[in-house]
Structure 1
Amino acid sequence: MMHNLFAARSSDGVEIFSGKEDYSEHEGFCGRPSAARVMSFSANGEYFAYCDENGVHVIHVETQTEKCLINRPRTVLIQFSPLGTHISLWEPYQVKAGEKEGVNNASIYESETGNELISFRRRERSGCEVYWTSDESLCARLHNSEVHFYTNNDFASPPKRLQIGRIEDFRITTKVRGDPMVSVYVPGQKGQPSFVRLFKYPNFRSEEVVGNRSFYKADKVDMLWNNRGSAVIIVTATDTSADSYYGESGLHFLSAKGDSCLISRDKNGPVYHVEWAPSDKEFCVVYGFMPAKVTIYNLKCDPIFDFGTGARNCAYYNPFGNILAICGFGNLKGDVEFWDVAQKKKINSTTFSDTTLFRWAPDGVHVITATCAPRLRVGNGFKVWNYNGNLIYEKSFKELWEVCWRPNKDFKVKPIQFVSTRPTASTSTTNGQAKVYVPPALRGRPQPTTPKVRDDYEPPSNVRNKTEESMSKSALKNRKKREAKRNRVNESNTEPSSAPRKTAAEVFDSSGDPEKDKKIRNLRKKLRQIENLKSLQTEGKKLELNQLEKIKSEADVVAELKALEI
């Protein structure tokens, strides 16, 4: 029987918990009393590693045996390769007294033996990650302002390098079919915009750029590829802005075919969270000033469903992508909504108070919530729930720092079970209707039958069927602008009825004289402009004096055009 396993890192040490699928039994194993700095499972769930004052311990999960101990006691980042054969470590860079440069603070080792394969310096925490393709045939890392690529885990020397400006960050796709895509971020300098460019390995010449997206106002950039490697979402952010103390956010889309666009949002405000669906066919965005909006987009960046507004700042798909959890954590009270993605139907609503960590279990049914230090130092512990809001297991700690699930791809998707709506403890009902509090001064007067909701509250809606009444003011204004522009274009392309207008719409045949042809083209262009101005005048729009003078000159333009066409 398959079990959900998860590890907890606390002041008591490191412990891995296992149990049946219903969590009726639990037992801890691989418990270590020493406090750990960091821990991680390999992507295939075979290995588990953590770092304490003795170094980095690599443990085989099934046999509970320690494979190796790596002498890196200051490690704060642990990364396994996709197949678990290699482990990458990074520790803060330091220079000892009397030395000009510090020692190498980043290394790659063999997971089984702990043999070091390569070590190098990386001063900043950002950009220190090492990336592999899913079959580990290609490995890439950022070195200074270059991206170095290694094939078949041969780290003797990089056979391929990507050099394009001052690269600050990069990502590679993990797909195995075909050559992987590489996205690089180069910040702007001296008034030039920042940009993200796409390349297809190993074609890195300037004329071989697959896609490009440039933008201003970007102090931080995050590049989120979908699993298939067909598109990347670029999230930009500034530290501060003129409109908000929290800065300004941007959302851009760039496909592997080179198509790019700015992802439209119906509400102003920051972008809190972006999540790709496991199907790679859609993505979810949480954005806007509180109450925030949650919208699902397709690969054309068209919104397909709007979850309305509420107190939320993150959204997580379960491993199968059939359930979406919309959450409000951090400085919010912890409201969570579970939605059926296919039916766009709410499964359950609940509240996980004081939650600082939320993770889906590999079975797609259970979740773990935790209150961790240093964010909160009171009431530390974790709880295991199912998506129906039933508490399965919980444990308290003096200080809990981290909880993570062991990856497991052997689980199968299960049918969704919906929860019937039940009145909350704070809501009393009278004759089936909610009883609303009425101030003493208003008692005895006629009251509305339904409680008033916030003016900025928007209910969930299918965006494809959204009517004008349910659209926001900015979205409705933009829609009217597009329709007016479309109407003007259609009117200008309609065949005129009068003789001069018909002549202007006829196909232009060259006379053989370049100068004469140029004058004819200019006069025809002026006639088209006059037709557009007359259409605007008919609609009741007030024109400028120069525009009115242009309309009066129509007869002269027609006469001059006839003289040239003779």
Structure 2
Amino acid sequence: MKSGAHELSPVTRVRSQRCAGSDQLQVAPVIRNGNVDCTIPHGNGGKMASPIPCVAVRGSTGINLAQGPPSYEPVKTFPKDDSKSCKAMLFSPDGRYFAWINAASVKIVLCETWKIVAEIARPKICSIQFSTHSTYLATWEPSFVTQTSSQGTQNLHIWKSENGELVHSFVQKKQINWEPQWSSDEKLCGLLNGANVLLYEDNNFDRYVHKISVAKVAKFSIAPGNAPYHILCYMPGKPGQPSFGRLFQYPKFEIGEALASKSFFQADRVDIYWHQRGTNALLMASTEVDKSGASYYGKQTLHYFSTKGDTAMVTFSKEGPIHAKITICINFLDYCALLLLAGFGNLRGGIELWDIANRKLIAKTDAPDTTLLQWSPDGEHFVTATTAPRLRIGNGFKIWHYTGSLVYQRPWNNQEELWEVTWQNFPLNTFQQKPISYKAVEGIVSSPSQSQAPKEAYRPPCARGQNITFKLHDDIEPPSKPAVDSNPSKAALKMKKNREAKKAKKELESNNSTVNGQVTSATTSVKMELTDDPEKNKKIKKVKSKLDQISKLKEQLKSGKQLEINQLDKIKKEDELLKELEELTL
């Protein structure tokens, strides 16, 4: 699964993606322990030699491509872009094309040759999206109201990927959910227009064929698979009214014709996840703020829809935000899939890799400060990266083998930022099926320069790069001692005398300890004899107090209680304290 957010935050956002080289079965986000990323890759059966997936990298130094394992060499024929304003990059679903945005244009290269086949000179474009068969590239840029365009300038454009020819233009004011959606065979295309969904057939965008307008639609999703097509719509309710998720079969879009309908409250945002066959879907409703105060990260609920008409709310044994994403990529049911479990964000970055069929742990490793993780389409490698703006220190990426070996590392220096890393996609059945190995492949030693932030105090941006001489609490004045009255009144003297009497009584009572529920004298094992010297008496009482503490600790140890190391160290000092007490009472 390729996440639209290239960072793993305490609440991980999840978006659907075709996992290149395999069919995809998407399963609901269900794990709640920290930031856990669960991904299952799958190798593919094939008779021809497998290609080498490329790795695309975007950052403050521009965009470049490199070969994946085992060479890691730069793709020499790729026209490297050194622009510091590369806003986005994207491989087409089948990996045929690669497109990116810089401050001047959108460029499309044919991955077979890495030669530029189209350049779209529109400097304001900031988002791109390929169609399912890579035939078209959609772009979005801000819309402006002018004297000739009172509704706004046309800002959503659809181009032919092979040559950059403009196919059609629309007005799409909002950037959220701007992307056109194609069916798996590209015969149906949907577009959110205001509160309606416009549907076009056979990529004829001159006139829409059907429209979903029975209620206000904030988001929709076309199911994977061919006809009959299914569309799940999110219809937000008015204040105090419930929202609805409604599943339709194209082209029947009346309320009474919905295959499945479910109401729910509390939804600032929704995400939709389809089974790869398009027969079932999960709708995750999220709120930015949990009004109950139970969670800092808001609240999420999951709702199930089936094309057979079934609906349900997915319940959990524990309340709290949904932190994880799960992707299962399957080509052959008899193939032993791999499962990767990783905890990032608030967790330390531990990674476990499992053989699912045999329920056996393959390897463990650590990738601290990871903000991005993605499996290679070959099903054998995965990449972890530390990216900005989530983390600006220790940027870089690493490539791992599923046996836990680190096979490549590319750190960034402190003056550069890494923004995104992604693998090239491939069609189904591209990669050969291989048996799972438990023997670690040869790897490299991780450099401490990456993902190891300097252990120093936090400084605000305005103070960075300066020689700071102040110390913590420099501006805090020490507490002043109360003034001593040289001529206390009789009432003050009486109060002082009463305080001293209470203190002495409390010290006397503290010499008794409770053991097994019975009050016994603290001098049971050690007799305390006071002297005529007040200073000596103070030391004797202090030593006796420590011995009483040791006596209690020994009772706890005898009863089977697990003591801390410092408590055991206290017990070891008993003989030393007894000797000191003996000397004081001579």
TM category, shorter: 0.5 to 0.7
CA distance, structure 2, for counterparts of residue 437 and residue 406 of structure 1: 55
CA distance, structure 2, for counterparts of residue 115 and residue 414 of structure 1: 42
CA distance, structure 1, for counterparts of residue 371 and residue 147 of structure 2: 39
Bigger relative contact order, structure 1 or 2, given CA contacts below 8 A and separation 6+? 2
Residue number in structure 1 paired with 2:284 = 235
CA distance, structure 1, for counterparts of residue 355 and residue 167 of structure 2: 46
Counterparts in 2 of 1:361 and 1:28: CA distance versus 1, 3 Å: farther
Counterparts of 1:274-313 in structure 2, within 5 Å, are 274-279=325-330
Counterparts of 1:138-537 in structure 2, within 5 Å, are 138-176=188-226, 178-241=227-290, 242=292, 243-279=294-330, 322-397=337-412, 398-408=416-426, 409=428, 410-418=430-438, 438-442=564-568
Contact 1:339 1:345 in 2 (8 A): yes
Output one character per residue of 1:503-528: Cα deviation in whole Å (capped at 9) or x when no partner.
xxxxxxxxxxxxxxxxxxxxxxxxxx
Contact 1:134 1:175 in 2 (8 A): yes
Contact 1:277 1:321 in 2 (8 A): no
Output one character per residue of 1:390-436: Cα deviation in whole Å (capped at 9) or x when no partner.
1111222321111111112301332222369xxxxxxxxxxxxxxx9
CA distance, structure 2, for counterparts of residue 331 and residue 123 of structure 1: 37
CA distance, structure 2, for counterparts of residue 48 and residue 246 of structure 1: 35
Output one character per residue of 1:222-279: Cα deviation in whole Å (capped at 9) or x when no partner.
1111211010011111111212232211111111111111112121111113434235
Q: CA deviation at 1:27?
A: 4.6
Amino acid at match of 2:419: W
Output one character per residue of 1:135-170: Cα deviation in whole Å (capped at 9) or x when no partner.
211111111111111111111101111112110000
Q: CA deviation at 1:25?
A: 5.2
Contact 1:15 1:29 in 2 (8 A): no
Output one character per residue of 1:432-481: Cα deviation in whole Å (capped at 9) or x when no partner.
xxxx9951313699xxxxxxxxxxxxxxxxxxxxxxxxxxxxxxxxxxxx
Amino acid at match of 1:252: H
CA distance, structure 2, for counterparts of residue 149 and residue 364 of structure 1: 36
Residue number in structure 1 paired with 2:163 = 113
| Aligned-residue RMSD, C-alpha | 2.7
Counterparts in 2 of 1:281 and 1:120: CA distance versus 1, 3 Å: farther
Point out where structure 2 has 5 or more consecutive residues left out of the alignment: 1-48, 441-561, 572-586
Q: Secondary structure at the match of 1:440?
A: helix
Q: Secondary structure at the match of 1:83?
A: coil
Contact 1:227 1:278 in 2 (8 A): no
CA distance, structure 1, for counterparts of residue 317 and residue 398 of structure 2: 36
Q: Secondary structure at the match of 2:189?
A: strand
Counterparts in 2 of 1:276 and 1:384: CA distance versus 1, 3 Å: closer
**Identity rate of aligned residues, in percent?**
36
Q: CA deviation at 1:331?
A: 3.5
Contact 2:381 2:399 in 1 (8 A): yes
Q: Secondary structure at the match of 2:117?
A: strand
Q: Secondary structure at the match of 2:256?
A: helix
Contact 2:65 2:74 in 1 (8 A): no
Point out where structure 1 has 5 or more consecutive residues left out of the alignment: 283-319, 421-435, 446-566
CA distance, structure 2, for counterparts of residue 237 and residue 134 of structure 1: 28
Q: Which has the greater radius of gyration?
A: 2
Q: CA deviation at 1:24?
A: 6.5
Count of aligned pairs: 392
Contact 2:248 2:260 in 1 (8 A): yes
Counterparts in 2 of 1:164 and 1:275: CA distance versus 1, 3 Å: farther
Contact 1:373 1:380 in 2 (8 A): yes
Tell me the TM-score normalised to structure 1 length: 0.65
CA distance, structure 1, for counterparts of residue 435 and residue 570 of structure 2: 50
Tell me the TM-score normalised to structure 2 length: 0.63
Counterparts in 2 of 1:97 and 1:347: CA distance versus 1, 3 Å: farther
CA distance, structure 1, for counterparts of residue 203 and residue 383 of structure 2: 35
Contact 2:66 2:72 in 1 (8 A): no
Counterparts in 2 of 1:443 and 1:255: CA distance versus 1, 3 Å: farther
CA distance, structure 1, for counterparts of residue 245 and residue 274 of structure 2: 13
Amino acid at match of 2:246: R
Q: Secondary structure at the match of 2:344?
A: coil
CA distance, structure 1, for counterparts of residue 73 and residue 170 of structure 2: 45
CA distance, structure 2, for counterparts of residue 24 and residue 363 of structure 1: 15
Contact 1:185 1:197 in 2 (8 A): yes
Q: CA deviation at 1:94?
A: 4.5
Contact 1:106 1:122 in 2 (8 A): yes
Q: CA deviation at 1:330?
A: 2.6
Q: CA deviation at 1:98?
A: 11
CA distance, structure 1, for counterparts of residue 223 and residue 331 of structure 2: 13
